[in-house]
Structure formats: structure tokens, C-alpha cells
């Protein structure tokens, strides 16, 4: 009985049932034509017709409404259109779309989305019809990551979205575009919302609902029921099929436990632990299937590259918990340029001293010692730039190996020098000479021992046979071959170990 047609003479509106709307002098009257009872009146009226949305004075209780002023709508619009207060019509999709379409701007009035029942309690979580725990989906969208290896802290800037169903609620006029279904702050304050705690942080942190949080309703099911008793022409959507969602941006510092055994070719895993603290897992659980995580920032950071990012459910005991796993692959270019290449260069210089002439012991030893001191300084600098650990890291093993190898080079130099036969202590760098005569002019003539004046001998051969005994030759050959073989064997084991389960040969 809510359809009326227009009667021209005199101008009136005739319903399909017992009701009529007619003009009596300056007043429009809604009356019952069967009982001849006036139901409501509209006065004074500046227009010549009552079409549109107006306040009527209800005189007889009807449809559960008591007497008094009530807003009633007499609409000329067809289904799918919205009636402005002045009686003009616009497409219903333009209702509450954040811009004025009615001339009187009434299409942006009364745009509250959520309908709260009288027994609604914002402190109690909703219970599904199956009486099971309410599933909550989370979506984490990370914008930036920053890792501090020394303090083992992960700084993350991310958007966190929580989505759930509340079957106690109904929603008005949902739009396909989700941003148009934003719930006002006044209604958000009356809603029940899940609360998550960030577990592995230095301080107590949890989700917040403030002016930075945006709560919206997803229109997943387009089925609705028109509320004909509402003068503002409302489409009602169910709360058990259209989820609520709240989104807010956070900047949080999470603690990580790094395993630096393979440093600087290590792969670290850091976790963002999110736990439901609103209620126990008997009432609230995570919906991992509908949850998601993504990283939108740079793939390569200063010290790390971002690997796989996953979200998995964790056993949080009494409360539901999920973990966002962030894989960090260390970029070892800095270590290669500042640790490995300089150390190999110093090791090569020390090894080359084994090819120096055996008689220049001071030069050989000082070159090797200088290389060892530089390596010791490099080892100290690397140790101070990393967390203090009770275990050896791969970079420690490399530098200690280089230091020990140079130490054995010095030992070989000492052994070779001990087995050298220098003969006469005054003999240093060439075959001995004998003084012959000295004239008054101060000129001294010399001649080789056991040789005649003017006779030339191969002094290299004399040096070779006088100093390099078979024992010395053996130690020289042994030092060169041993140091080289140990270096090759160590590198085969060292880099072979790193080739497995490390960031040296990581494939994305």
C-alpha cells in the first residue's frame, strides 16, 4: 500500500489501498478513505504539492509510530533512484558518494553506514552462527625496511589491515568502491574491533584506533533488502556476508636473532610477530588463508637484499598468533672490497718473500711482519663493527687463517736463515777479497783469494755453492710448496662450505 497515483481534478494522490493524500485549503492531508480518519497533516506548505521529504504531523498511531512530527517521503522516483528533499530524482549510486548531486544537497545527508542493534556490546567479540572462533584476516604491506646488524633490530614501516565479520550489524547503502564505505569516527568508537599486539618489540606496542585509522566495509555480496519504512530510502546489507576492515600505518622496531656464523655471506630471517590480544584463541583466531603480506620498497638495501617474505601461523599458546617472515640476504660486495681482496693481497706479498734471496733475512721478515700487523688491524676493525659473539664467523676464520699462514712464512724464514752457512762473519754480500799493497798515494790494490790479479770468476756460483746447502734448498722448496698447498686446500674447503646454504650463490 505504498504506491500512489495522481488524480488531476482536484489534485490528489490515491493509494492502492485505503489511504489518500489530498489538499484541504493550504494543508495537505493524509487520510483513511474507508474510515474517513485523518492520519497526518502537512502545513504550512510553500509548494503546491507534497512530493519529496517533509515533516508531517502524525495524529493517529500507525505502523508502530506514535503521534507527533514524523519524516515522510512521497516520491515520484522509480526503483534505483533516490528522492531528494525537493522531490527531484537522482541515480541511487550517487547517494553518499562524497559530492552533491541534489540541488538541495540532501543526497549527502544521513550517510551513516552502520546500524547498531539495541543489545550491541562493543566490548564483546561477535560470535559466528556456527559458534566457532571468529576468523580474523590480516594484510601487511611493507613500505620500507631498515636493518641494524650491530643491535640486531629491524625497523619496518608498514600498513596493517585487519578484516572480520560482525553478524550483529547491518549496513546502509554500500558502494562497490570500498573507499566510499568509510565508517565515521563517531560510529567507529561504538564498534568492536580486534586488537593485535606486536610481541617481539622492546616496548609494549599494539594496534591503535585513532584519527589515523580508517575503517571501511567491503561489499562482497551485492544482495540487499530495501528498508521501505525509512524515509531516507535505505538499502540494507547483511553484516555476516560483508566484512569490516580497519587499516592503519605503523612504524615499529622489531628485535631479531641473527646467526652470524656465515658472515658476510649469511642469510638472516627476521620475524614480525602479531598476536591477538582481544580474546583467547577459543573466540578469535587468524584466517591465514585470506591473509597476505607484500613488500613494496626497494629490493636491495645498503647492506642486505630482500629475499622471500612469507606469512605463517604460529603457536601462540593461549592467543592466536601469526608471523611475518622476512628473509635478508647480505650483500657481500663491501666485505670483498674491504676484507678479502686486501687480505689476499697481503698474503700474496708475504708469500712472495719466500722468493727473496735467502741472505737478506731482515727484508724478508720485516715484509712478512708488516703484512701480519696490517691483517691484525683489519681483524680488529671487523670485530668491532659486528656484534660480539661466542662463536667464530667465517670472516674470523678467514682472517685468522691469513694471520697464521703469514706466521708460518716467518717460521720458514727463520729455519732457512738458521741453516745458512755464512762462513766468515765479515762476509756479507760478495766473495772475499785480499788486500795486496798500499802505496803512498792511499790507493789500495786488492785481488781475489786464490786467484791471480785480473782473473775473473763466477761469484754467483761461489755464493751458490758456499751458502745454499742441500738442507737450505730443501727448506726453501718445502716452504714454497707447503704454503701454496695449504692455501689451495683451505680455499677449497672454505668456499665449498659457503657454496652451500649461504648467500654466496643465492638465487631469488
**With bands split at pLDDT 50, 70 and 90, how would you rate the model's confidence at 167?**
very high
350 and 315 in a common domain: no
Q: What is the pLDDT of residue 385?
A: 83
Q: How far is CA 368 from CA 98, 347, 375, 376, 409, in A?
A: 79, 9, 11, 12, 7
Residue 127 lies in a domain: no
We report the CATH number of the domain holding residue 363 as: 1.20.58.390
Distance separating alpha carbons of residues 93 and 164, to the nearest angstrom: 25
268 and 174 in a common domain: yes
Looking at the 3D structure of the chain, how many domains does it have?
3
Residue 440 lies in a domain: no
263 and 177 in a common domain: yes
Instruction: Between 472 and 441, name the one with better pLDDT.
Output: 472
Q: Are strands 37-42 and 27-32 parallel, antiparallel or unpaired?
A: antiparallel
301 and 177 in a common domain: yes
Residue 126 lies in a domain: no
Dihedral of the CA atoms 355, 356, 357, 360 (nearest 10)?
-150
Res 63 pLDDT > 60 = yes
Residue 118 lies in a domain: no
Q: Report pLDDT digits (tens) over 241-297.
A: 999 999 999 999 999 999 999 999 999 999 999 999 999 999 999 999 999 999 999
- For residue 353, the 8-state DSSP code is G
185 and 302 in a common domain: yes
**With bands split at pLDDT 50, 70 and 90, how would you rate the model's confidence at 102?**
very high
Hey, what's the cell of 387?
656484534
Residue 446 lies in a domain: no
Residue 85 lies in a domain: yes
146 and 25 in a common domain: no
Structural domain ending residue among the three candidates 330, 358, 391: 330
Residue 149 lies in a domain: yes
Residue 143 lies in a domain: yes
370 and 319 in a common domain: no
Indicate the helix (H) or strand (E) that contains 71: strand 68-74
Nearest partner of 11 among 59, 47, 64, judged by Cα? 47
Instruction: Between 139 and 419, name the one with better pLDDT.
Output: 139
Buried b / exposed e along 128-152 (16+ C-beta atoms within 10 A): eeeeebbbbbbbbebeebebebeeb
Structural domain ending residue among the three candidates 277, 299, 330: 330
183 and 96 in a common domain: no
Among 58-67, 97-106, 459-468, the range scoring the smallest mean pLDDT is 459-468
Q: Report pLDDT digits (tens) over 171-210.
A: 999 999 999 999 999 999 999 999 999 999 988 899 988 8
Q: What is the pLDDT of residue 211?
A: 86
Which domain covers residue 489, as residue numbers? 333-425+456-505
Omega before 44 cis (within 30°)?
A: yes
* Burial category of 48 from C-beta neighbours within 10 Å (exposed 0-12, middle 13-18, buried 19 and up): exposed
What's the CA angle centered on 49, arms 45 and 54, to 5 degrees?
55
We report the CATH number of the domain holding residue 200 as: 2.70.170.10
277 and 149 in a common domain: yes
Is residue 177 within 8 Å of residue 153, measured between CB atoms? no
155 and 232 in a common domain: yes
379 and 244 in a common domain: no
296 and 193 in a common domain: yes
Q: Which residues contact 150 (CB under 8 A, 6 or more apart)?
A: 385, 386, 387
**With bands split at pLDDT 50, 70 and 90, how would you rate the model's confidence at 315?**
confident
Among 97-101, 435-439, 441-445, the range scoring the smallest mean pLDDT is 435-439
Amino acid at each position: 500500500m505504498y504506491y500512489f497515483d495522481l488524480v488531476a481534478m482536484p489534485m490528489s494522490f490515491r493509494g492502492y489501498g485505503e489511504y489518500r493524500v489530498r489538499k484541504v485549503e493550504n494543508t495537505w492531508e493524509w487520510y483513511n478513505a474507508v474510515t474517513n480518519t485523518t492520519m497526518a497533516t502537512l502545513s504550512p506548505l510553500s509548494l503546491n504539492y507534497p512530493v519529496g521529504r517533509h515533516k508531517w504531523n502524525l495524529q493517529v498511531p500507525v505502523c508502530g509510530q506514535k503521534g507527533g512530527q514524523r519524516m515522510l517521503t512521497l516520491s515520484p522516483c522509480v526503483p534505483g533512484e533516490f528522492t531528494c528533499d525537493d522531490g527531484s530524482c537522482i541515480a541511487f549510486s550517487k547517494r553518499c558518494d562524497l559530492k552533491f548531486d541534489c540541488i538541495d544537497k540532501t543526497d549527502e545527508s544521513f550517510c551513516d553506514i552502520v546500524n547498531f542493534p539495541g543489545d550491541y556490546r562493543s566490548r564483546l567479540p561477535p560470535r559466528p552462527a556456527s559458534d566457532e572462533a571468529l576468523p580474523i584476516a590480516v594484510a601487511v604491506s611493507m613500505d620500507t625496511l631498515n636493518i641494524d646488524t650491530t643491535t640486531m633490530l629491524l625497523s619496518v614501516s608498514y600498513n596493517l589491515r585487519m578484516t572480520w565479520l560482525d553478524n550483529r550489524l547491518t549496513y546502509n547503502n554500500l558502494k562497490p568502491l570500498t573507499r566510499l564505505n568509510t565508517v565515521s569516527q563517531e560510529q567507529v568508537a561504538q564498534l568492536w574491533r580486534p586488537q593485535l599486539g606486536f610481541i617481539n618489540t622492546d616496548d609494549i606496542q599494539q594496534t591503535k584506533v585513532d584519527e589515523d585509522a580508517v575503517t571501511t566495509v567491503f561489499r562482497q555480496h551485492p544482495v540487499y533488502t530495501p528498508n521501505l519504512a525509512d524515509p531516507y530510502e535505505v538499502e540494507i546489507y547483511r553484516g555476516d556476508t560483508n566484512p569490516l576492515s580497519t587499516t592503519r600505518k605503523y612504524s615499529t622496531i622489531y628485535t631479531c636473532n641473527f646467526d652470524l656464523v656465515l658472515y658476510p655471506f649469511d642469510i638472516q630471517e627476521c620475524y614480525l610477530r602479531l598476536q591477538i590480544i582481544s580474546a583467547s584463541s577459543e573466540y578469535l583466531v587468524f584466517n591465514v588463508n585470506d591473509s597476505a603480506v607484500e613488500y613494496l620498497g626497494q629490493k636491495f638495501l645498503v647492506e642486505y637484499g630482500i629475499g622471500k617474505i612469507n606469512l605463517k601461523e604460529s603457536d601462540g599458546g593461549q592467543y592466536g598468533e601469526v608471523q611475518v617472515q622476512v628473509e635478508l640476504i647480505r650483500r657481500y660486495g663491501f666485505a670483498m672490497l674491504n676484507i678479502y681482496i686486501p687480505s689476499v693481497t697481503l698474503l700474496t706479498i708475504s708469500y712472495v718473500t719466500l722468493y727473496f734471496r735467502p741472505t737478506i733475512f731482515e727484508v724478508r721478515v720485516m715484509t712478512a711482519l708488516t703484512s701480519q700487523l696490517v691483517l691484525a688491524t683489519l681483524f680488529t676493525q671487523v670485530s668491532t663493527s659486528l656484534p660480539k659473539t661466542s662463536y667464530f664467523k667465517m670472516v674470523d676464520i678467514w682472517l685468522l687463517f691469513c694471520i697464521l699462514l703469514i706466521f708460518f712464512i716467518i717460521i720458514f724464514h727463520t729455519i732457512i736463515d738458521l741453516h745458512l752457512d755464512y762462513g766468515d762473519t765479515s762476509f756479507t754480500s760478495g766473495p772475499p777479497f785480499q788486500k795486496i799493497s798500499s802505496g803512498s798515494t792511499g790507493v789500495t790494490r786488492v785481488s781475489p783469494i786464490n786467484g791471480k790479479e785480473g782473473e775473473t770468476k763466477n761469484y754467483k756460483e761461489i755464493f751458490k755453492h758456499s751458502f745454499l746447502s742441500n738442507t737450505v734448498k730443501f727448506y726453501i722448496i718445502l716452504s714454497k710448496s707447503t704454503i701454496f698447498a695449504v692455501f689451495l686446500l683451505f680455499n677449497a674447503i672454505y668456499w665449498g662450505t659457503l657454496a652451500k646454504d649461504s648467500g654466496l650463490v643465492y638465487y631469488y
